[in-house]
Structure 1
Amino acid sequence: MLSGAELTAAILRYATNPIYLDNEEWVNEDNPYRRQLRPQVLPHLVFDTPLRRDQVFNYESLAAHRMLTSIYEADLVFLPKSELTPEKYRDFHSFYSPHNRSRGEVIRPALERFAFGFLDDEVSVSGDWDAESLETFLRDLDNRVTGAVLPAEKAIRESSDPQRAAKMWLIQFAPDFLSEASPMLRNLLGNIGSIQSEWFKIVIDEYGYGVHETKHSTLFERTLDSVGLKDDVHRYWQYYLPGSLLMNNYFHYLGKNHEMFFRYLGALFYTETTLVDFCARAAGLLNDVFDGAADVEYFTEHVHIDTHHGRMALEKLILPVVRRYGAVVIPEILRGYEEFHVIAEIADEDFVSQIAWMDAGPTNKSLHDPVYQSVAEGRVTAPVAHIVEPFGELSNTHSHQGDELCHIVTGTMKFVSGFDSHQILQAGEGTVIWRDRLHGAIIESDECVYEIHSVGDYKKCMS
Structure 2
Amino acid sequence: MTAPSPHYSPLPGDDPNEIVKAFAANRAFRAAEWEELTTEDNPYRRPVRPDDLAWLDYSGPMPADKALKLSGLLGHRMLRNVYDLDALHLPPARTPAVAEDQKAFYSHDNRVLSALAKPVLENHLFSFLAEGRTPLERPGVAAATSHVIGAFEQRRAVGNKAIDAVERTVGKREAGTFLMLQLSAFLPSMNAAVGRAALGEYDHACDSLRPFLVDEYRSWVNSSAAYAKMLDGGGLKTPAAAYWQLYLTTSLARGNHLHHLSVNRENLFAFLGALVHKKMDESLTRDRFADAFATCLTADTGYFGTAPALAEDGLRELVGRLLTPLVARYGDEVVEGFHQGFEDAARFAGLWETDMVEQVTWADSIQEYQDKAIRIDKYLSDNNIVVDLDTFVESNEETSTTHVHNEHRLVMIESGQMHFWNNVTHKIEFNQGDKVLIPVSRLHGSTVLSGECTYHQPIIPDDMLNQIF
TM-score (normalizing by structure 2): 0.90
How many residues are paired up?
Answer: 455
Residue number in structure 1 paired with 2:180: 170
Q: Say which SS state the counterpart of residue 51 (structure 2) adopts.
A: coil
Deviation at 1:304, TM superposition (A): 4.4
Q: Is the 8 A contact 1:206 1:216 kept in 2?
A: no
Q: Which digits, 9 at most, give the CA deviation of each residue in 1:362-387, with x for residues without a partner?
A: 11112332322344456221122222
Cα distance change, pair 136–450 in 1 and its aligned pair in 2 (3 A): closer
Matched to 1:135, the amino acid is T
**Conserved in 1, the CA contact under 8 Å of 2:62 and 2:127?**
yes
Deviation at 1:139, TM superposition (A): 4.4
Find the partner of 1:19 among 13, 16, 28. Answer: 28
Q: 1:96 to 1:335 in 2, by over 3 A?
A: same
How far 1:396 sits from its partner (Å)?
A: 0.9
**Where do residues 280-299 of structure 1 align in structure 2 (5 Å cutoff)?**
280-290=287-297, 293-299=298-304
Matched, 1:64 2:49: no
Q: Aligned match of 2:230 in 223, 226, 230?
A: 223
Map of 1:370 onto structure 2: 375
Check whether the contact 1:123–1:335 (CA below 8 A) recurs between aligned residues: yes
Question: Structure 1 residue aligned with 2:263, among 256, 262, 269?
Answer: 256
Q: Choose which of 446, 450, 465 in structure 2 pairs with 1:459.
A: 465
Q: What is the aligned partner in structure 2 of residue 430 from structure 1?
A: 435
- Residues 94 and 309 of structure 1: is their aligned pair in 2 closer, same or farther, counting only changes over 3 Å? farther
For residue 397 of structure 1, report the CA deviation from its aligned partner. Answer: 0.4
Question: How far apart, in 2, do the equivalents of 1:423 and 1:135 lie?
Answer: 49
Matching residue within 343, 355, 366 for 1:361: 366
| Match in the other structure for 2:417 | 412
1:100 equivalenced with 2:110 (yes/no)? yes
TM-fit CA distance, 1:126 = 4.7
Aligned ranges for residues 196-235 of structure 1 at < 5 Å?
197-208=208-219, 215-235=222-242
**Residue 45 (structure 2) pairs with residue 34 (structure 1):** yes
CA distance in 2, matches of 1:70, 1:266: 24
Structure 1 position 319 matched with structure 2 position 319: no
Q: What is the letter of the counterpart of residue 240 of structure 2?
A: V
Of the three residues 43, 55, 64, the one matched with 1:53 is 64
Q: 2:170 pairs with 160, 163, 168, which one?
A: 160
- The alpha-carbon deviation at position 11 of structure 1 amounts to 1.3
Give SS of 2:419's match: strand
**What's the CA shift string for 1:3-28, capped at 9, x where partnerless?**
99811211111111111101212111
Aligned-CA RMSD value: 2.5
- Once residues 202 and 284 of structure 1 are traced to their aligned partners in structure 2, the CA distance between those partners, rounded to angstroms, is 29
Contiguous gaps of at least 5 residues in structure 1: none
What SS does structure 2 have at the residue aligned with 1:451?
strand
Moved more, 419-428 or 223-232: 419-428
Q: State which drifts further: 442-451 or 37-46.
A: 442-451
* Contact 1:417–1:440 (8 Å) recurs in 2: yes
- Shift in Å, 1:135: 3.4
Write the distance in 2 (CA, Å) between the matches of 1:386 and 1:146. 47
Give the partner amino acid of 1:389: E
> Please, which of 18, 33, 36 is the counterpart of residue 9 of structure 1?
18
Matches within 5 A, 1:236-251: 236-251=243-258
Identical-residue share of aligned pairs (%): 26
In structure 2, what is the Cα distance between the partners aligned to 1:461 and 1:437?
21
- For 1:91, the aligned partner's letter is D
Change (3 A) 1:146 1:384: closer
C-alpha contact 1:180 1:216 (8 A) present in aligned 2:
no
For the Cα contact (< 8 Å) 1:28–1:237, is it kept in 2?
Answer: yes
Distance 1:128 1:178 in 2: 35
Task: Give 1:219's aligned amino acid.
Answer: A
Q: 3-state DSSP class of the match of 2:307?
A: helix
Match of 1:382 in 2: 387
Q: 1:103 to 1:348 in 2, by over 3 A?
A: same
Aligned to 1:277: 284
2:121 is equivalent to residue 111 of structure 1? yes
Q: Which amino acid aligns with 2:251?
A: S
* Structure 1: distance between partners of 2:107 and 2:158: 45
Q: Distance in 1 between matches of 2:121 and 2:238?
A: 29
1:132 and 2:142 equivalent?
A: yes
Q: Deviation at 1:388?
A: 1.4
Match of 1:334 among 326, 336, 339: 339
Amino acid at match of 1:122: G
**Distance in 2 of aligned mates of 1:231 and 1:175:** 10
SS at match of 2:253: helix
One-letter amino acid matched to 1:415: F
Tell me, yes or no, if the aligned pair for 2:398 and 2:448 is still in contact at 8 Å: yes
Question: After superposition, what is the alpha-carbon deviation per residue over 1:36-94, rounded to whole angstroms, capped at 9, x for unaligned?
Answer: 111111011011232222211101110110100001110111111x2222332222221
User: Aligned equivalents of 2:333 and 2:190: distance in 1?
Assistant: 30
The answer to whether the 8 Å contact 1:286/1:296 transfers is yes
Residue of structure 2 aligned with 1:349, choices 341, 351, 354 = 354
- Kept in 1: contact 2:202–2:210 (CA 8 A): no
SS at match of 1:406: strand
Q: In the alignment, what sits opposite 2:131?
A: 121
Q: Structure 1 stretch 156-165 or stretch 128-137: which is displaced more?
A: 128-137
Q: Is the 8 A contact 2:177 2:425 kept in 1?
A: no
Q: Which residue of 1 aligns with 2:8?
A: none
Question: With structure 1 as the length reference, what TM-score do the two structures score?
Answer: 0.91
Q: Which moved further from structure 2: 179-188 or 371-380?
A: 371-380
- State how far apart, in whole Å, the 2-side matches of 1:438 and 1:74 are: 25
